[in-house]
Amino acid sequence: MEKISKIGLKGLKAALLAAPVMVAAGAASAQELRVGISAELSAMDPHYHNVSPNNMLARHVYEPLVGQDEKQTLKPLLAESWKAIDDTTWEFKLRKNVKFHDGSPFTADDVIATMQRAPNVPKSPSSFSAYVRGKEFSKVDDHTVRVKTATPAPLVPTDLSTFGIISAKCKDTTTEDFNLGKCAAGGTGAYKQAEYVAGDRVVLTPNENYWGGKEPWSKVTFKMITSAPTRVAALLAGDVDVIDNVPTSDVARLKGDAKLSVASTVSNRVIYFHMDHFREVSPFIKGKDGSEIKNPLQNLKVRQALSMAINRPAIVDRIMEKEAIPAGQLLPDGFFGTSKKLKPVAYDLNGAKKLLAEAGYPNGFKMKLHGPTNRYLNDTKIIEAVAQMFSRLGIETEVETLPSANFFTRASQGGQGNVPEFSFILVGWGAGTGESSDSLKALLATFDPAKGMGATNRGRYSNKAFDAKLEEALRTVDDAKRDLALAEAMEIGINDVGLIPTHYQLNTWASRKGVKVQARTDEYTLATGIRKE
């Protein structure tokens, strides 16, 4: 009573009133989600760069017409239904009563505006043109859109699952202004962009009026932590609640930690090497004496020798610590449009040396390998290991790794004449559509911006037989026949060594106990798929 009398009745009431406020504040803090991600974003513009980290973050704010579940099976999203009216016409019924973040209604006008913008963003390192070109979009009414194609196009719904819809108000917004959050209308997604600090973090806040229901997180912060040990340390220290791309060396240890949970699934991502097919003289290839030589990568036997010199099981076992699968094509077995005939190329150093000699390079040549650092699991280690394998083949191989943003710009358009700069590069590709046409169109189709083909074909590989078979597949409506045609196109491109696949990653996440992560084949770490247990 003595303490109460000193505080006084007024002070006691204030203290009692303050207590629930403190509890409430603690509860709010507990609803914040902090995620450590392994890759930096290149922009918050949802149409600037078709690359997984950008697409994943954009998915929180800007929703596609068609959604994908954790296994990339299509599901209704902003389009509640769709159907083929005839062989060359699709009709999409849009969801009603959906609003953008500024409260304006979502209508067919926004879809039309998005389709005009998505393939035409200036300076895009890898555009979405492949998913839009060749399609004519028209408004039937405020909640109906039709898509007309010149030939049968069975993959229209799949294509429209790969990028988000923006408000027509933001059609002319620049990439720089998207980064600054100046697209005031925002998207229709479950979260709003609150802050973007390049190379550091993205902060999202919930869309309280989201048509899909209320999210449990009061704030979501994606921290870009490209260093794998630092990412793990942040989780162990409690600085983040979830991390993606768990280092292969730490998977077993984290699985054994009672305070943590680990979730994983096979990835749609293939790690592969692109090579210079289009230049007669390639900038990072020289003779053993340093002299200029004709580009040896244009010779099939040289390409076959390089593929044969890569010891894929060793990469999987020693570098990836069994958290990967050797690759023989662009997607793992079982995905739509993969070939049952293609298997990982067997390691055969003597056979590779024989092929190299038959190609006219018995003593090899000099070559520099380029790649990003801290973009893919163990990327630098893989590049260094493959360089050693090539050196054993007789090809003196130097390595240069670069920060992702710099690397991808130069690999896409950094050379003289605004063409890919490098001769031989390590990269990865995740099939955004969950089937093989996505990878084939982007990576092996002849580069043709007008058709939206070869958008990420950084080696400028071109094969008329491949293009013809892919085009046949893309206009085949019957699923079984399209599956077969895509597999045949895959066989043409891989057997011609248009690129060299090495392995498929396993997607692995770790989280503090009580926070459950939905493992996805597309590698996306979605706050909408993270829940308290």
330: Cβ contacts below 8 Å, ≥ 6 apart: 270, 272, 338, 429, 431, 436, 439, 440, 443, 490, 494, 501
Looking at residue 125, its pLDDT comes to: 86
Looking at residue 414, its pLDDT comes to: 74
219-224/201-206 β-pairing: antiparallel
Looking at residue 126, its pLDDT comes to: 84
Nearest partner of 267 among 404, 128, 403, 376, judged by Cα: 376
Structural domain spans, the chain: 37-224, 269-505
Looking at residue 96, its pLDDT comes to: 97
Looking at residue 67, its pLDDT comes to: 97
Instruction: Give the Cα separation of 208 and 186 in Å (integer).
Output: 13
CA distances from 216 to 21, 27, 183, 287, 388 (A): 20, 12, 25, 61, 49
- Residue 319 corresponds to which tokens in the numbers above? 């570098």
SS3 454: coil
Count CB neighbours of 30 within 10 A: 9
H helix count then E strand count, the chain: 16, 20
Looking at residue 8, its pLDDT comes to: 37
Q: What digits encode the pLDDT tens for the residues 176-214?
A: 999 999 998 999 999 999 999 999 999 999 999 999 999
The model's pTM: 0.76
Cβ–Cβ < 8 Å for 457, 446: yes
Q: What digits encode the pLDDT tens for the residues 428-457?
A: 999 988 899 999 999 999 999 888 899 899
Could you give the angle at which helices 379-393 and 300-308 cross, rounded to 10 degrees?
120
pLDDT band at 18 (very low <50, low <70, confident <90, very high): very low
Q: What integer best gives the mean pLDDT of the chain?
A: 92
pLDDT at 521 over 60: yes
Encode 184-219: b = buried (16+ Cβ within 10 Å), e = exposed.
ebbbbbbbbbeebeeeebbbbbbbeebbeeebebeb
**% the chain with pLDDT above 70:** 94
**% the chain with pLDDT above 90:** 85
Assign domain 269-505 to its CATH architecture: Roll (3.10)
pLDDT at 293 over 70: yes
Looking at residue 413, its pLDDT comes to: 82
Please give the class, per CATH, of domain 37-224: alpha beta
Instruction: Give the Cα separation of 82 and 87 in Å (integer).
Output: 14
Q: What digits encode the pLDDT tens for the residues 69-100?
A: 998 999 999 999 999 999 899 999 999 999 99
Instruction: Give the Cα separation of 238 and 8 in Å (integer).
Output: 41
Handedness of CA 455, 460, 461, 464 (dihedral sign): positive
Instruction: Give the Cα separation of 123 and 180 in Å (integer).
Output: 18
pLDDT at 141 over 70: yes
Q: What digits encode the pLDDT tens for the residues 206-257?
A: 999 999 999 999 999 999 999 999 999 999 999 999 999 999 999 999 999 9
Q: What is the DSSP secondary-structure string of 488-499? A: HHHHHHHHTTSS
Looking at residue 10, its pLDDT comes to: 37
Looking at residue 451, its pLDDT comes to: 85
